[in-house]
Structure 1
Amino acid sequence: MKREFNLVFLSALLLVGCSDDNNLAEARVVEAESTFSTEYSPNPQVPDDRSLMEIGQTVSDKKGEATLEAISEIGDTFEFGPIRLTIKEMKQIHLRPDYSLIDYFHVLTHEEEFDFVKVFVQVENTSTEPVHFAPVAKMKTNLGEEFDWHEDIYLEELNGELLGKEVKQGNIGFIVHTPGTLEWILLNTSDIFNKSEMKIFNSQEIKLTF
């Protein structure tokens, strides 16, 4: 029930967040990179790709076989309003899911194997008050494809409420349908809302390149 509430609320805040407000400042890049926790748990639907650091490497487990097609170590931290967002890395991965997971991915593709692009992020609420925020509300690639948070294959519940001083980290990934070379992706966060559902900071646009 809590997840359903968060999804409904997120839909509402993304719609409200479409309006522009020039009085709100842009994000600033923080020189010191945030420290990532080592407690991240592997995703139940996608093979753990943390060992994939060189193009062509492959990892296999009961969830399928994943091959690294491209990687970019980002390590940038952005601060806007009470949010501190760190993007650790971006990868393009070719996935051959296990047969038991075909139905899970058929919601987004009918291909039995496919490429997807993913980013590993950490998001922190630096204030003591709860806020509502989505680190990736929309994504666009140089191939012309556009995605929104509904199409995220990881579903690691990074969107929604962040309690005061809470830190979340995990993956966000989207299946790439268009053939071609991925050169960059453009991420749009959601606006930031306080516990009274009032917008307190604008969404941000972040470009990541391979």
Structure 2
Amino acid sequence: MANQNFVGGSLSILRAFGGFLIALGLIFGTAWIFNRNDAHRFADGYRVEGTVERIHEGEPPIVMVTFVDRNGRSQTWHLENMTQSVRETLAEGDEVVAVQMPNSPSRIMLLEQIENRPDDRNGLIMTAVFLLPGLFLVLQRRPYGNQENQQKMATRQHHLASGSLFLFMGLIMLIGFFATAFDANLHWLGKLIFGGFCLLTGSGMALGGLRELWLA
């Protein structure tokens, strides 16, 4: 009975965690599809020459541009995907060239950002990184065959379950460490305490997870 509970518990954890990874993969995949679709629509858009009307500081900054659309009407809308680095190159009264999305006249974006759009392969890579392991974990089968084979499969699934969870949580902690280390607004003492905790704990959990996966 205890062995059956052990097997069922590991398999349930594997499938639940696999479903979680699949959900993350689908989220990244959906975002990649929408971003790629937007990029194609902007590429086929209508170029307009406008003037920076006003700038609202914030995260992200809002840059309002006045321009004349293809129908000869004066419009004022904010530029999409504005970043702080691009905002620093703009000032009120500047002349800019933007692109108005077809069938969505309120969506405009700087031409230079469209032309210098970064490669979107990262979104596809992140989708595969989560989706493929998730499918692998979800498709794990209940141990079958003779007693020896069942025990081997049960042990392997136990290592897979614990290794996957520890590695995932360790990587999250390490991401927290890097986010803390490069946060310019965080006091050095906070970086030392929280960053050190994330680094030590995340490294230990990630190494423990890799060891468990190796044993699987």
TM-score by length of 1: 0.19
When you count strand as a share of all residues, which structure comes out higher? 1
Greater relative CO, 1 or 2 (CA 8 Å, sep 6+): 2
Structure with higher Rg: it is: 2
